[in-house]
């Protein structure tokens, strides 16, 4: 998303909207998009797939209520059971009732299930003792933030398989204490602060 399409800088008055209606349309679209993330140890992918087939549609349909654009993703601490990116490639369209029912059934399954900002699925790499470690991160949303402009939350970091050096730690994530299986950081952290905390987290994993 290029905010330059919606904002213009005036040296005297600062940043201004180019077009109020276009910006309103953008904010409305953002409020109607989210990613649902399930993470934990030994996720039930068989039931998850059943719930996706039952409640989420890859085809946009006419609904009497607001339509949500949804992505779904998982992270299993057990690398042998992780469906990395398997669900994320698809975009689904649901009304509010379908979304509520999907989340209600999802909450009955093992793991934690959280709403995240749509399109935020990125990587953060750090170099530690000559090894390059990569992490995948998401930005969580408050429970009701998808319905309002103000978005708050935290960053969730997970050890992924993007770097060959991650082989030193990814295979044992599922046997770690819960507090070491992922890292949660405030969204106002700078990249330098993130790097410090991620290095400390990975060091604890290496020592475990």
User: 140 with 119: CB under 8 angstroms?
Assistant: no
**Residue 23 sits in which domain range?**
1-31
Q: Give me the pLDDT at residue 127, please.
A: 97
| CA 137 to centroid of chain Cα atoms | 7
Instruction: Judge if 27 and 43 occupy the same domain.
Output: no
Instruction: Judge if 84 and 139 occupy the same domain.
Output: yes
Phi, psi values for residue 155, rounded to 5° = -90, 135
User: 102 with 115: CB under 8 angstroms?
Assistant: no
Which whole number is the average pLDDT over 77-96? 86
pLDDT band, residue 17 (cuts 50/70/90): low
Query: Token pair for residue 149?
Result: 């402009």
Distance CA 43, CA 112 (A): 9
Instruction: Judge if 24 and 101 occupy the same domain.
Output: no
pLDDT of 208 higher than 80: yes
Phi, psi values for residue 53, rounded to 5° = -60, -30
Q: 126-141 pLDDT, tens per residue?
A: 999 999 999 999 999 8
Instruction: Judge if 3 and 52 occupy the same domain.
Output: no
Instruction: Judge if 120 and 21 occupy the same domain.
Output: no
Phi, psi values for residue 117, rounded to 5° = -65, 135
| CA 136 to centroid of chain Cα atoms | 9
Instruction: Judge if 98 and 22 occupy the same domain.
Output: no
Instruction: Judge if 85 and 124 occupy the same domain.
Output: yes
Q: 99-110 pLDDT, tens per residue?
A: 999 999 999 999
| Cβ burial, residue 115 (10 Å; 0-12/13-18/19+) | buried
Instruction: Judge if 18 and 98 occupy the same domain.
Output: no
Helices 96-106 and 45-55 pack at an angle, to 10 degrees, of 170
Instruction: Judge if 18 and 87 occupy the same domain.
Output: no
Instruction: Judge if 7 and 59 occupy the same domain.
Output: no
Instruction: Judge if 9 and 49 occupy the same domain.
Output: no
Domain count, the chain: 2
**Region class of 129: left (phi > 0), else alpha (psi between -120 and 50), else beta:** left
DSSP string of 70-131? EEEEEEESSGGG--TTTTTT--EEEEHHHHHHHHHHHTTSSSEEEEEEEEEEEEEEEEETTE
User: 67 with 95: CB under 8 angstroms?
Assistant: yes
Instruction: Judge if 3 and 38 occupy the same domain.
Output: no
- Which range, of 43-47, 82-86, 190-194, averages the lowest pLDDT? 82-86
């Amino acid at each position: 998303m290029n905010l330059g399409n919606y904002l213009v800088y005036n040296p005297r008055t600062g940043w201004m909207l180019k077009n109020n209606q276009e910006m309103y349309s953008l904010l409305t679209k953002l409020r109607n998009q989210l990613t649902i993330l399930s993470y934990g140890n030994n996720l039930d992918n068989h039931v998850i797939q059943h719930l996706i087939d039952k409640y989420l549609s890859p085809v946009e349909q006419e609904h009497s209520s607001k339509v949500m654009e949804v992505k779904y993703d998982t992270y299993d601490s057990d690398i042998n059971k992780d469906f990395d990116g398997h669900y994320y490639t698809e975009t689904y369209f649901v009304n509010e009732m379908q979304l509520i029912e999907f989340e209600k059934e999802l909450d009955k399954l093992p793991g934690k299930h959280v709403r995240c900002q749509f399109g935020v699925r990125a990587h953060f790499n750090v170099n530690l003792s000559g090894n390059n470690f990569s992490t995948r991160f998401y930005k969580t949303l408050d429970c009701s933030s998808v319905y309002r402009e103000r978005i708050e939350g935290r960053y969730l970091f997970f050890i992924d398989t993007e770097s060959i050096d991650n082989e030193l730690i990814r295979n044992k994530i599922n046997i770690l204490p819960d507090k070491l299986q992922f890292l949660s950081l405030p969204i106002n952290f700078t990249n330098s602060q993130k790097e410090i905390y991620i290095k400390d987290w990975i060091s604890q994993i290496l020592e475990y």
